[in-house]
Chain A
Amino acid sequence: MNNVCVYCEYEEGKIQDVSFELLTKGRSLANQLGCKLEALVIGENLEGVDKEVSKYGTDILFIADDKRLYPYSTLPHTAVAVGLFKETRPQIVLMGATSIGRDLGPRISSSLVSGLTADCTELEIGEYEDKKVGKKYENLLYQIRPAFGGNIIAWIVNPDNRPQMATVREGVMKKEMLNENHQAQVVHIEVNKYLNDADFVVKIIERQMEESKINLKNAPVIISGGYGVGSKENFDLLFELAHAIGAEVGASRAAIDAGFVEKGRQIGQTGVTVRPKLYIACGISGQIQHIAGMQESAMVISINNDPNAPINKIADYVINGDIAQIVPKMVKYYKKNVK
Chain B
Amino acid sequence: MYKIIVLAKQVPDTRAVGKDAMKADGTVNRAALPAIFNPEDLNALEMALSVKDRYPASTITLLTMGPPRAAEILREGLYRGADAGVLLTDKAFAGSDTLATSYALSCAIKKIGDFDMIFGGRQAIDGDTAQVGPQVAEKLAIPQVTYAEALGEIKDKIIVIKRRLEKGVETVSAQMPLVITVNGTAPECRPRNAKRLMKYKKAKTISEMSNASEDYITLSNERPYLQITEWGAINVDPDPTQLGLKGSPTKVKQIKNIVFQAKDSKIITTEQEIEDLMKELIDNHTLG
Interface set of A (CB-CB < 8 Å, partner B): 11, 71, 74-75, 78, 98-99, 102-103, 105-107, 109-111, 113-119, 128, 130, 142-143, 146-161, 201-212, 221, 245-246, 270, 277-278, 288, 291-292, 295, 299-302, 312-321, 326, 329-330, 333-334, 336-339
Contact = CB atoms under 8 A, between A and B. Distances in A.
Contact of A313 (B12, B128, B263, B267): B263
A207 B250 contact: no
B287 A148 contact: no
Nearest to B283: A337
A150 B127 CA distance: 10
Given A115-B99, A118-B130, A277-B286, A319 B255 contact: no
A243 to B, nearest CB: 13
A208 B130 contact: no
9 contacts: A74-B134, A74-B144, A78-B138, A110-B135, A146-B258, A202-B145, A202-B174, A299-B286, A314-B260
B265 A149 contact: no
Interface stretch (B73-81, B109-117, B274-282): B274-282
A6 B242 CA distance: 28
Contacts of B139: 110
Nearest to A311: B260
A157 B250 CA distance: 6
B256 A208 contact: no
B257 interface: yes
Contact of B287 (A74, A161, A300, A334): A334
B186 to A, nearest CB: 14
Contacts of A317: 265-268, 277
Task: Please classify the interface of chain B as helix (H, G, I), strand (E, B), loop, or mixed, using the class held by over half of its residues.
Answer: mixed
B125 to A, nearest CB: 7
B58 to A, nearest CB: 22
Contacts of B171: 204-207
Contacts of A159: 251
Contacts of B256: 152-153
Given A99-B147, A152-B255, A338 B131 contact: no
Contacts of A99: 146-147, 165-167
Interface in B185-237: none
Contacts of B145: 202
Given A109-B131, A157-B250, A278-B281, A150 B170 contact: no
Instruction: Give the size category of B's interface with A.
Output: 35 or more
Nearest to B167: A209
Nearest to B15: A149
Contacts of B265: 302, 312-313, 315-318
- Among A110, A158, A206, A321: residue with most chain B CB under 10 A: A110
A148 B267 contact: no
B249 A160 contact: yes
Given A157-B253, A202-B173, A205-B171, A337 B258 contact: no
A281 to B, nearest CB: 12
Contacts of B97: 115
Contacts of A314: 260-263
B105 to A, nearest CB: 12
Contacts of A288: 258, 260
B260 A313 contact: yes
A333 B165 CA distance: 41
A304 B269 CA distance: 11
Q: Quick one: which of A116, A295, A320 has the most chain B CB within 10 A? A: A116
Contacts of B26: 154
Interface string B10-34: 0010110100011000101000000
A103 B252 contact: no
Given A118-B127, A146-B258, A295-B260, 15 more contacts: A99-B147, A106-B129, A106-B134, A109-B131, A113-B249, A117-B250, A118-B131, A148-B12, A152-B255, A157-B250, A158-B250, A210-B167, A313-B263, A320-B268, A337-B282
A208 B255 CA distance: 41
A206 B99 contact: no
B67 interface: no
B253 A207 contact: no
A142 B253 contact: yes
Contact of B253 (A155, A277, A339): A155
A113 to B, nearest CB: 7
A334 B249 contact: no
B134 A107 contact: yes
A40 to B, nearest CB: 18
A149 B66 CA distance: 20
A20 B178 CA distance: 33
B50 interface: no
Contact of B282 (A71, A150, A210, A334): A334
B126 A202 contact: no
A208 B169 contact: yes
Q: When A and B form their complex, which 5 residue pairs have the shortest distance between CB atoms, in order from nearest?
A: A149-B14, A115-B249, A209-B168, A115-B250, A110-B138
B278 A337 contact: yes
A182 to B, nearest CB: 29
B250 A103 contact: no
A160 B287 CA distance: 51
Contacts of B165: 99, 209
